[in-house]
Amino acid sequence: MKPKILVTRETFDDVLDYLTGHFEVSSNQSDTPMDSHILVKNLADKSGVMTTMMDRVDAALLSNCPALKAVCNIAVGFNNIDIEACSRAGVMATNTPGVLDDSTADFTWALILATARRVVESDSHLRSGQWKGWYLKQFLGIDVHHATLGILGFGRIGSKVARRALGFDMTVLYHNTRQADPDLERACNATFVSKEELLERSDILTLHLPYSPSTHHIIGSSELAGMKTGSILINAARGGVVDDTALVEALTSGRLAGAGLDVFENEPALNPALISMKNVVLTPHIASSSAATRHAMAMLAARNLVAALTTGKPPNLINKAEGGRRKAEGKDQGRDQRCN
């Protein structure tokens, strides 16, 4: 008899076909979000689950799902999963690192260019019939070429963003929990600086950090006050690493010229003041949303689940087996992490 698994949200047909070859699959192809009560009800007799960032897996859920052995997140980040609770319950937890790095770096540049050159604002102006012809000071933006790019978080995605800056002849600065390998610095033409210097010198500051208690509001009122006047902030990492209320204040005061945001505190809710701001580009957490990348993420999660329930050794295990239980491994969550 095949193990039973749940796929919590709509996925690709070939991913389901692959899973069906190994499991009895229940899939939410209607893509109806499940609250905690419904999720527990659907998981009660399942050995494994493929989750998304919208699915909270915590101690309360695990206590009501005794058959559960593996939680496989379709995401790099895993702050929707209580890893310690999974470890205590003997449940393997996995993520999908690597496959979304380039797409997320590409999208970071989409936000940089759209924000600096006021693309969304001018598009709206034209579509609404307000454009009356060319004039000299029309939608003056910020040059990206030869500007100083600051990168907070220099892991897989942050370093790929830096590589893409080479074509713009930018000065690239970065700050990370530890300095990168000299070969990587040379390849990216990037210089390690303190966080304070990064804020002071960056014309464009882009964030590539996971969300955790240690990174909560890592960009808050004091950091925004320390940023270069007229600079722009880009966040395609995680909501919560920026204090959105403080960001609104910095944008309103003119301290910052603009912001490009793909993630928000308490998403899908967001600070309503952001919606009316013409100098802010807003996108709905889609940095990894290319067809190829989202498919690769789903398939990697599926392969993690098959390996977890057949061999007990999934390739992207976040916590490891120890004495029949699973103890948090303490992987470096300071690396770039997205669950787009």
Q: Which residue numbers are catalytic?
A: 238, 267, 285
Beta bridge pairs of residue 233: 205, 259
DSSP annotation of 166: G
Report d(CA 338, CA 80) in Å as an integer: 12
d(CA 73, CA 37): 19
The 3 state secondary structure assigned to 55-84 is CCECHHHHHCCCCCCEEEECCCCCCCECHH
Concatenated DSSP letters of 106-129: HHHHHHHHHHHTTHHHHHHHHHTT
Cβ contact 283:78 at 8 Å: no
CA 98 to chain centre: 12
Ramachandran bin of 323, using left for φ above 0, alpha for ψ from -120 to 50, beta for the remaining angles: left
DSSP string, 167-229: GGT-EEEEE-SSPPPHHHHHHHTEEE--HHHHHHH-SEEEE----STTTTTSB-HHHHHTSPT
Task: Using DSSP, state whether 309 is helix, strand or coil.
Answer: helix
Least Cα distance to 35 among 54, 53, 14 occurs for 54
Structure token pair of residue 120 = 């969304």
Listed residue (189, 186, 199, 183) closest to 164, CA to CA: 189
* Nearest Cα residue to 280 out of 323, 306, 242, 331: 242
Angle between helices 156-165 and 101-116 (to 10 degrees): 50
